[in-house]
Amino acid sequence: MFAVVEIAGQQYKVSKADTIHVPKLESEVGQKVTFEKVLVVGDDKQTRIGAPYISGTLVEAKVVKHLRDDKVTVFKKNRRKGYKVRRGHRQQYTTLEITKVA
């Protein structure tokens, strides 16, 4: 069984026991999180599509850890003007383990 769920404005296709990285959630490690914005639920026999969401369906997940992505360096320069700017950014993520699709 799989589901397409909306988490933090992005859509993810998940199944039970999947591990996904999503933008950082304000939850503690080990805490259970429930997502009710389920767009599609399906298995081998049938598929249900919501308009836009399926009522009464939810996806439960456990927060495994919080992590940060590799650094992205942004470098700007204008030739012959003496202008150089170097900035960096590290995106923060949360790792989720899907425990239940119902």
26 domain residue, yes or no: yes
State residue 79's pLDDT score.
Answer: 97
Which tokens in the block code for residue 61?
């997940």
Q: What is the pTM of this model?
A: 0.83
10 domain residue, yes or no: yes
HSE-CB for 81 with a 13 A CA cutoff? 7
Closest listed residue to residue 37, CA positions, set 22, 19, 69, 65? 22
28 domain residue, yes or no: yes
77 domain residue, yes or no: no
Is 20 exposed, middle or buried (CB count within 10 Å of its CB: 0-12, 13-18, 19+)?
Answer: middle
56 domain residue, yes or no: yes
53 domain residue, yes or no: yes
86 domain residue, yes or no: no
> CB neighbours (10 Å) of residue 73?
9
Mean pLDDT, residues 54-83 taken together: 97
Give the number of domains in the chain.
Answer: 1
What percent of the chain stands above pLDDT 90? 98
Cα–Cα distances in Å, from 8 out to 20, 45, 51, 90?
13, 30, 19, 18
Closest listed residue to residue 98, CA positions, set 27, 35, 40, 25? 35
User: pLDDT at residue 66 above 90?
Assistant: yes
Average pLDDT for the chain: 96
What range defines the domain where residue 30 resides? 2-67+93-101
87 domain residue, yes or no: no
User: pLDDT at residue 102 above 90?
Assistant: no
Q: Which amino acid is at 5?
A: V
User: pLDDT at residue 9 above 90?
Assistant: yes
